[in-house]
Structure 1
Amino acid sequence: MTKTVPAFELFAANATDHPGGALPGGGIASGPEGYSVLSYQLATDVLRNPRFANSALKLMEEFGINDGAVHGFRARSIIMQDGAQQLRLRTPLARFMGPATVQNTREMLTDIVTRIVGELDDTKPVDFHAGVDRRIPSLVYCHLAGAPRTDAPKVQELSERTLALLARDPSLKPDILAAYDELFEYLRDLMERKRAQGLGDDMLSHLMTLADNGKLTEQELFDEATSMLEASSVNTGHQIGLVVWNLLRNREVWEQILADPTWIPSAVIEALRLYPRTGVVSKIAMEDIEVGGITIPARTDVHVAVWSANRDPKRFEKPGEFVLGRERNQPLTFSTGAHNCLGQGLAKVEIEEVVGHLVRHYPQARVVDSESAISQTAGRWTINQLTVDLGPRR
C-alpha cells in the first residue's frame, strides 16, 4: 500500500501558521516546491545524510547562472562537497574556529559592542538593526581575516548582496553577479596587501600559509576565502537582531536575565530555537532515498523546515513557549551533521555579548513595535527595521 503524502506549500505566505512538527499525515509533505521535512527527527536525519546534497548550485542555475566564475566557485565550494574532500577543506577552518578563537573573539567583541553602541544617540529610539546588529559581524570578519576595520562596511555590503541569492528572486541576478565580481576583486587585493605587509596569525593568513606549504591549492585557498567572506555577515546580523527583538519583547524572561545574567547563554539558545534566521535548508536527493516511509526520487528538491523542526512537540515540550533553562535544547538553527555551521560558536558569542551589553547598561530597553518591521519570506526571518528605545544608560 502506497503511503499518502500530506500536501504543504512551504514557501506560501501562510506556511508559518503551521505550529511546528509533523502534520497529521506525517513529518514529510509535498508541494509545488518539492518535499518539505517538518519534524525534528526527520529533519535531523536528512541534514546528516550525505546522500542529500546542498541545492545552492541548482538555485544558481535556476537563476540562469550556468557557467563562469561564480558558478565555478559554487560548484567547488565546501558546501557542495562531501566525504574526504569536504573533510579536507573543512578541517583547517574548523581548527581555527575552535574554543580558543571563540574566547579571544569574545574579548575583542566587548570593545566592538561598547564602541558602536556608544555611537548611538540613546536619548531617542534608535534603529538597532542598522546601528548595531548589522555592523558587528563584518567587524568580526575583519578581525579574523586580518583586514583593517575600515573594510567592514564593504564586507557587510558584499555578504548581503551575494547571499541575496537565498531570497529566490531571479530579478536580483545582475546585482548578485556584480557583487561576486566585486568580492573576488576585494579578496585579491586583500591577499596582496597581506603578502606585502607579512602574514599574521589571523584566519586568512592561516589559509594562505597552508597554500604556501602545498596543503591547499591556490584555487582552494581563494574558494575558502570567498566562502568565509560570503557567509561572514548577513545571516549573523539578522540573527542578532532577532534574538534582541525576542528577548526585549518578552519582559518576564528579560527580568529573569536582569536578575541573573548567567541565564544569557540559555536565553540566546531558546531565542535561536524560536526565531531561526535560516528557516529552511534546501537539499537535493542524489539517489532514490526513503524518508519517513516515503521514497524520494533522485534529483528531487527536499526542503528542511528548520523553523518547524525547532517547534516539534515530540521533541520540545511546550514548543511555542519561551522556556528559560529548557533541557536538551538543541535546535537545528545552525544545522547538524557534516555541514553544520562552522561559525556557530562565534555567532552565539556575538549575540551573547550584545545581550550582555544591554543587560549591563540598558536594562529598561524596549522594542518600539510600531516602528519595527520584522518579516518571514521564503523560510527566512528578516529584519528591515528594529527600533529600540534604550532608556537611561547605567
Structure 2
Amino acid sequence: MTTTLPRFEPFSPDVLTHPGGALAEGPLALGSAGYTVLSFELATAVLRDKRFQNAALKLMEDFGITDGPVHDFRSHSLLMADGPRHLRLRTPLARFMGPATVENIRGALREIIQNLAAGLDPFAPVDFHGDIDRRLPARVYCYLAGAPAEDAPKVASLSERTLSLLNRDPSLTPVILDAYEELFAYLEALVARKRAQGLGDDMLSFLIAQRDAGKLSEDELFNEATAMLEASSVNTTHQTGLVVWTLLRNREIWQRLVEDPALIPAAIVEVLRLYPRPGVISRIAAEDIELNGTVIPAGSDVHVAVWSANRDPARFENPTEFVLEREHNQPLTFSTGSHNCLGQGLARVEMEEVVSYLVRHFPNAVVVEDGTEIGQAGGRWLVKSLTVDLKA
C-alpha cells in the first residue's frame, strides 16, 4: 500500500519551525531531498534496519567524487560495511573505545582542559568556542592516537575540512579533496614513525598491531585510522559548545549543577536530546521497503530527522522543555543499532569534564549573547561563535 505523503524539506533554513515528532498526516514525509522520518519510533526502526544503508558514499558521489583515493576510502570504510565484515572491523575499535578506556581518560582530560583554560582571562569575556570547544577534541585525539600534542591544530583543521561534506555544498569539493590528501599523508607519516620508534598503548598502535596480527589488511588499517581522525573533532567541538550554551543560559538548571555536580551527566543527555549536532542521519533503501504504509523504492534517500525524533511528544513528555529528571532519556543523537557512534562514550565524557570544570572554577559564568551565534547548516546544529563571561 502507498499513501500520499506530506511535503517536508529536512535541510531548509526554516526547518526548525516544525516543533518535533510526526506531522498531522503521519511520521513520514517526502520532499526534494527524498523521504524524511520525523517520529522517534519510526526513526529508531529505520536506524536499526540493515536494509537502509549509510548514505555517506552517495553524498560523496553527489559532490562529483566518483573515483580516486578518497572515493576508495569511503567505499571501503567502516561506515559502508555490513554483515560479518562490519562486525570484524568494528569489534576491535569498540573494545578499544569501551567504558574502561573512557573512564581511564578522565584524568588526562582534566589535565588537557586545565591547560587550555590556563590561557583564559577570568575577568573578561572569552571566546569559549575558539579557546576551548575547537581545541579540546583534537588534543584528546592526539592523546588517544599517540600523536604529538602540537599536531592538534592540524587534526582539528583536517576533521573540519573533510566533514564539510556534511554541509551539502558541492562548491566545497576542492576543499574536501585537498583535506583528504593532506590527511592521508599525515597518517602515513605518523604510522611510519610509530613503526620505526616502536608501538605503544595508543589507538593507532593498537590498529597497527591488529594489522601485524593479520586481523586487518594494510588498507583497512589506514581506512580505520582515517575514519577515526575525520570524526575526531568537528562534531564534538560543536556539541560541546551547544552543551555549554544551553546550560549557562538556563540559570535554574545551572545552579542545580553547581550545587550537585552528580547531575551533570543527566544534564548532558538532555542537551543532546534538545540540540543534537548530527541533526539528520541519511540512509539509502537497498531494496523496496514498506515503511509506515508507504513502499520506499530501492535507491531512495531516507533522512532521519534526529532533532525531530528527539522532540517527539509521543516519546518525550513536554519535549521542548529541559527536564533534568527525565526518565528513560535515550535520544537518537548518536544513532542506534549496529552503526551507532563508536566514540559516543568519549564525547560524553569530554562534555562532562568541560561542564565540571566550569562548575568548579567559574560557577557564575554566563553567556554573552552579543558575542554568540548558534545556527544550522545541512540539517545540523552548529556553533558559529560562543562568548562566555567567566565572572571569576
**AA in 1 matched with 2:244:** V
Contact 1:312 1:319 in 2 (8 A): yes
> Identity of aligned pairs, percent?
65
Q: 3-state SS of the aligned residue for 1:7?
A: coil
CA distance in 2, matches of 1:203, 1:15: 39
Aligned to 1:3: 3
Aligned to 2:69: 69
Contact 2:274 2:307 in 1 (8 A): yes
Cα-to-partner distance string for 1:64-103 (whole Å, 9 max, x where unaligned): 1000000000000000111111110001100001111001
CA distance in 1, matches of 2:88, 2:103: 25
Cα-to-partner distance string for 1:279-315 (whole Å, 9 max, x where unaligned): 0001100000111111100000000000000000000
Contact 2:12 2:379 in 1 (8 A): no
Cα-to-partner distance string for 1:182-240 (whole Å, 9 max, x where unaligned): 00000000011111110001111011001011111001001000001010000001100
Contact 2:2 2:293 in 1 (8 A): no
2:52 is aligned with 1:34:
no
CA distance in 1, matches of 2:299, 2:118: 51
Q: 3-state SS of the aligned residue for 1:155?
A: helix
Matches within 5 A, 1:1-394: 2-392=2-392
Q: 3-state SS of the aligned residue for 2:374?
A: strand
CA distance in 1, matches of 2:195, 2:172: 35
**AA in 2 matched with 1:246:** T
CA distance in 2, matches of 1:201, 1:146: 8
Contact 1:279 1:381 in 2 (8 A): yes
CA distance in 2, matches of 1:22, 1:193: 52
Count of equivalent residues: 392
CA distance in 1, matches of 2:328, 2:294: 28
CA distance in 2, matches of 1:133, 1:352: 13
Contact 1:135 1:156 in 2 (8 A): yes
CA distance in 2, matches of 1:169, 1:2: 32
Report deviation, 1:4: 2.2
CA distance in 2, matches of 1:117, 1:144: 20
Report deviation, 1:370: 1.3
**AA in 2 matched with 1:95:** R
Contact 2:2 2:295 in 1 (8 A): no
CA distance in 1, matches of 2:5, 2:202: 50
Contact 1:145 1:203 in 2 (8 A): yes
Report deviation, 1:2: 4.1
Q: 3-state SS of the aligned residue for 2:235?
A: helix
CA distance in 2, matches of 1:2, 1:61: 29
Unaligned runs of 5+ in 2: none
Q: 1:2 to 1:189 in 2, by over 3 A?
A: closer
**AA in 2 matched with 1:347:** A
Report deviation, 1:378: 1.7
CA distance in 2, matches of 1:36, 1:2: 15
Cα-to-partner distance string for 1:258-297 (whole Å, 9 max, x where unaligned): 1111100000000110000000001100000111111100
Unaligned runs of 5+ in 1: none
Contact 1:238 1:382 in 2 (8 A): yes
CA distance in 1, matches of 2:104, 2:346: 10
**AA in 2 matched with 1:172:** L
CA distance in 1, matches of 2:32, 2:350: 37
CA distance in 1, matches of 2:122, 2:386: 14
Q: 1:52 to 1:314 in 2, by over 3 A?
A: same
Q: 3-state SS of the aligned residue for 1:137?
A: helix
CA RMSD of aligned residues (A): 0.8
CA distance in 2, matches of 1:372, 1:132: 15
Contact 1:4 1:25 in 2 (8 A): no
CA distance in 1, matches of 2:6, 2:171: 32
The runs of 4+ residues in structure 1 deviating greater than 3 Å are none
CA distance in 2, matches of 1:18, 1:328: 24
**AA in 2 matched with 1:284:** I
Q: 3-state SS of the aligned residue for 1:8?
A: coil
TM-score where L is the length of structure 2: 0.99
Cα-to-partner distance string for 1:142-167 (whole Å, 9 max, x where unaligned): 11111111111110110000000000
**AA in 1 matched with 2:199:** L
CA distance in 2, matches of 1:168, 1:200: 38
Q: Which moved more, 1:252-261 or 1:342-351?
A: 252-261
